[in-house]
Amino acid sequence: MREWINKYAVYIIVVALAIAVVSYLRSGRQSKSQFLPEYTLAWYVDEETNEESVRPISELPPLPGKSGKLTVVRAIKVTYDDGQTSQTVYLEKFTPEAQERLSKLAVDDIQRDTFFGKLVRLPEPGSHWVPADSSEGTQIRDSIANSDHGTPKFFPPRKNHP
């Protein structure tokens, strides 16, 4: 028996590792985002009134605004001074198809981190919505890092924010 173990030890180890990896992947851990911190709240802004609000991040914009129209979108904010002030760097919303698909997923499902059906635009009036995964969308998302203000940090709302 000892001779058999010595002869096939490498194969036994490889099979054991393969079983461990498959077990880990099948445990469901791969369906949750491990790349983004677990934020539960997000900034939103009504494009008609410019009124900001804090809502659960699970809400998929555009959402109905005060007028009843779908004018409330998510605002992505950063801070350059450790939270003393913040700046909206871009807005985002989803296509109706993406809203339908993503609404069926758990909030922490990694598929929600994809750009499927996500549209972005700069916060300036008159800027146009573009797909987040397009070259224009990438430029908008990357504009955060291309600032003269210093190193930006993502600025999520605090739980005690009104």
41-99 pLDDT, tens per residue? Answer: 999 999 999 999 999 988 999 999 999 999 999 999 999 888 888 999 999 999 999 99
Provide the whole-model pTM.
0.71
Alpha-carbon gap, residue 52 to 57, rounded angstroms: 14
Strand locations in 80-141, DSSP E? Answer: 87-94, 118-121, 130-131
For residue 62, say if its preceding peptide bond is cis, omega within 30 degrees of 0.
Answer: yes
Q: How far apart are CA 25 and CA 22, in angstroms?
A: 5
The candidate with the shortest Cα–Cα distance to 78, out of 144, 162, 149, is 144
CB 11: neighbour CB atoms within 10 A? Answer: 9
Higher pLDDT, 7 or 34: 7
Whether the per-residue pLDDT at 26 is higher than 70: the answer is no
